[in-house]
Amino acid sequence: DSGVTQTPKHLITATGQRVTLRCSPRSGDLSVYWYQQSLDQGLQFLIQYYNGEERAKGNILERFSAQQFPDLHSELNLSSLELGDSALYFCASSVDSGGRANYGYTFGSGTRLTVV
Amino acid sequence: AQTVTQSQPEMSVQEAETVTLSCTYDTSESDYYLFWYKQPPSRQMILVIRQEAYKQQNATENRFSVNFQKAAKSFSLKISDSQLGDAAMYFCAYGHYPGDKIIFGKGTRLHILP
C-alpha cells in the first residue's frame, strides 16, 4: 500500500456520461497530481493542486475539472465522456518540503475508466 | 519546454544478464531531478531511482544504477543480474523544483527471457 488511495479501481460507463474519480493523498502530502495514461502510452499530466489551490495545469480537456478539498482529498470530474477518454487515471501526491528537494511522487493504484 | 525521450520502445534481456535503458531529456534549467519509474503488469507506478542534477555521483539502488551525463542530457538506467520480476514498463521522468509537475517519457517495455 503506497498510502495514496484512489477509488474506484474500475469504472465502466457510457458515452455522454459524467464520472468522478477520487484520490486521498499520502498523509502529510499537500500536493496532488492527476495523470492520464492511455493504452500503452506514457503518462500525460492533467492538473496539480497544492493545499486546496490549483498550481499547474497540463493538457486537461475543458470537459474535465478537478478540485482539492480542505481535508486534501481530490476529485477529478470527467463529463460528456467519449470513447477516447478510456484510460488509466492516476493520482499521485508529493512531499513539498519547503524547497529543499524533489523526491518524486507516490502514486495511487489508478482508476481504470472504460467508456462504452 | 522540458521534454523526455526514450528511444527504445521495447527491449529484451536474458535472465541474470545486464541491460541498459536509454533516456535523453531537454531542459534549460541547471538544477533539476531525474527519475526512473517502473510499471509492472499490476499497473502500479513504483519509483526505482532518483538523481539530483547537481550531484555528479551516479545514483545506485541495489541492482539498479544510472549513468547521468549532464552535458549530454542523458540519463540511462542499468539493471544488473536481471530477474523475472524486473519485467515491466520503465519510464524516465524529469522534475524541476520540489512540487513541480513531473514529465514522463513514453516508456520502454522490458522483457526478461528465462
Q: Summarize pLDDT for B17-74 with one digit per residue, the tens.
A: 999 999 999 999 988 999 999 999 999 999 999 999 988 899 999 999 999 999 999 9
- Which residue's entry shows cell 517495455? B109
Q: Do A104 and B106 touch (CB under 8 A)?
A: no
Instruction: Report the distance separating Cα A3 and Cα A103, nearest Å.
Output: 15
At residue A103, the pLDDT reads 75
Instruction: Report the distance separating Cα A18 and Cα A63, nearest Å.
Output: 9
Instruction: Report the distance separating Cα B56 and Cα B94, nearest Å.
Output: 17
Chain B residues touching A39 at Cβ < 8 A = none
Q: Do B43 and A109 touch (CB under 8 A)?
A: yes
Chain A residues touching B35 at Cβ < 8 A = 104
At residue B58, the pLDDT reads 95
| Mean pLDDT calculated for residue range A56-74 | 95
Residues 51-90 of A with CB under 8 A from B: 55-56, 58, 88, 90
At residue A45, the pLDDT reads 94
Residues in chain A: 116
3-state secondary structure of A83: helix
CB–CB contacts below 8 A, A to B = 72
Q: Decide: B22 and B74 in contact? Cβ < 8 Å.
A: yes
B44 touches chain A (CB under 8 A): yes
Please tell me which of the candidates A58, A101, A109 has its beta carbon nearest to residue B101. Answer: A58
Chain B residues touching A33 at Cβ < 8 A = 101-102
Spatial CA neighbour of B97 closest among A8, A18, A103: A103
Q: Do A102 and B96 touch (CB under 8 A)?
A: yes
At residue A100, the pLDDT reads 57
Provide the terminal-to-terminal Cα distance of chain A, rounded to the nearest Å: 30
B53 touches chain A (CB under 8 A): no
At residue A1, the pLDDT reads 79
Q: Which three cell numbers stand for residue A58?
A: 497540463
- Rounded mean pLDDT of chain A? 91
Q: Which three cell numbers stand for residue B7?
A: 528511444
At residue B26, the pLDDT reads 96
Please tell me which of the candidates B32, B43, B106 has its beta carbon nearest to residue A42. Answer: B106
A40, pLDDT greater than 80: no
At residue A99, the pLDDT reads 56
At residue A42, the pLDDT reads 82
C-alpha separations of A70 from A47, A51, A53, A107, A109 in Å: 17, 8, 10, 20, 23
How confident is the model over A76-102, as pLDDT tens digits? 999 999 999 999 999 999 876 555 566
At residue B88, the pLDDT reads 97
A64, pLDDT greater than 90: yes
Q: Do B50 and A92 touch (CB under 8 A)?
A: no
- Please state whether the peptide bond connecting residue B98 to the residue before it is cis, i.e. omega within 30 degrees of 0: no
Spatial CA neighbour of B50 closest among B25, B75, B23, B30: B75
Chain A residues touching B106 at Cβ < 8 A = 41-42
